[in-house]
Amino acid sequence: MSKSAGIALFVALVGALSLSVQAQVTNLSGGASVNFSNLVANSQWTGLSVMIGDKLFGNFGFQYLDTDGNAGDDLVPADLVLSALSNQVGFGVTIQLPLVAQGPVIKDLVLQFTAQVTNSFNLISDVHLDFTGFASGLGQANVSESIFTNGFGTGQLASLGLNLNSSGYFPNSGQTNTVLIPPQSKIWIEKDIFVSGNPDDVNDGNPPNDLASISIINQTFSQIPEPSTMALLGTGMAGLLVVRRRK
């Protein structure tokens, strides 16, 4: 091997080792949290994945746009916190964020992540969504998402959304869910988080009192056993019945 080839191989090995060190998984339980800046990949960092219960959450993405023309108040990943969530539905995530629009302003945040079952035979069968927000005047807050089966934007399986204005939530009183058919061991979620004041009334002469905000988003996942596991269980039960009858 030539000296230059050896150097190239050494650099490649160091690069691979660096990536393997960066591609870490952290365990979150009991409401533990992690800053979103540690989850989103960039040119120097592959981003953490987080293990919550039997689910691995990873491949986090972050995109933000607004119409206020002030780059100094733009939302960045470091403004968000992700926490472990566990309730009667199942394991999931809570995302805390300071997203506020007042007056003739629109703010739009797109988050991406995957949810994968890793250490059980239960498939994800339902996706549940709710959020904490506020709206006054003509302000609106909206969280909607698309669920894919083969990468972001590929193999869309379901979609759901929840809107809040000054008269209340639509639909389902602040909570919504969708059933996945068929159930999945891994899903790709793209979430669009949107707040606006009253962009249609820029020249109405009134003070900009229209307001909307979103501070907390909760996402949990119901699960059912894999069909093969159910079939195996059924076979076992049938075997037990045969043995009992013979006795």
Residue with tokens 């949107």: 194
**Which residues touch 77 (CB under 8 Å, ≥6 apart)?**
35, 36, 37, 39, 40, 62
Residue with tokens 């300071």: 98
What is the pLDDT at residue 29? 87
What is the pLDDT at residue 229? 39
Which stretches in the chain have pLDDT values below 70?
1-23, 171-173, 199-208, 226-247
Whether 114 and 187 have beta carbons less than 8 Å apart is answered as yes
What is the pLDDT at residue 70? 92
What is the pLDDT at residue 241? 47
The closest of 70, 55, 44, 14 to 219, measured between CA atoms, is: 55
Whether 128 and 147 have beta carbons less than 8 Å apart is answered as no
In a 3-state reduction of DSSP, which class is residue 4?
A: helix
Note down the domain range covering 143.
3-246
Judged on CB neighbours under 10 Å (0-12, 13-18, 19+), 236 is: exposed
Whether 27 and 50 have beta carbons less than 8 Å apart is answered as yes
Task: Read off the tokens for 216.
Answer: 């907390």
Residues in the chain: 247
140-148 β-sheet, strand order: 25-27, 49-52, 55-66, 106-117, 186-196, 140-148, 156-165, 168-170
Q: How far from 210 is each of 104, 158, 213, 219, CA to CA, in Å? A: 8, 32, 11, 28
Work out how many domains the chain is built from and give that number.
Answer: 1
The closest of 112, 109, 108, 81 to 95, measured between CA atoms, is: 81
91-102 β-sheet, strand order: 33-35, 81-86, 91-102, 211-225, 122-136, 175-184
